[in-house]
Amino acid sequence: MSEDNPSGNKHNRNKKFASGMAMGIAIGVALGVALDNIAIGIAIGAGLGAAFSATASKPPKSK
C-alpha cells in the first residue's frame, strides 16, 4: 500500500526535516539571545536543526 503513493512518504519526510530545522534554529536563536550574539546562535541552531531533522526523517526500523 505504501508503494501506491511514493511521493506521500517523501512529503512526510520533508515536513519532518523542516520541523527539525525550525526547532533547531529556534533553540539556536534563543541561545544567541542568551549569549548576546545572534550570529553564533543561528550557527548553533543550524547545526542542531540538521541533527534534529536527520533524526526525525529517518524511516522507522522494521523487524
For residue 61, is it within any domain?
Answer: no
Tell whether pTM > 0.75: no
Bigger pLDDT: 14 vs 5: 14
Whether 34 has a pLDDT exceeding 70, the answer reads yes
Q: Does residue 48 belong to any structural domain of this protein?
A: yes
8-state DSSP, 34: H
Residue 6 lies in a domain: no
Domain range for 37 is 12-56
- Taking residue 7's Cβ as centre, other Cβ atoms within 10 Å add up to 7
Number of domains in the chain: 1
Rounded CA separation 20/39 (Å): 19
> What's the sign of the alpha-carbon dihedral 46, 50, 51, 56?
positive
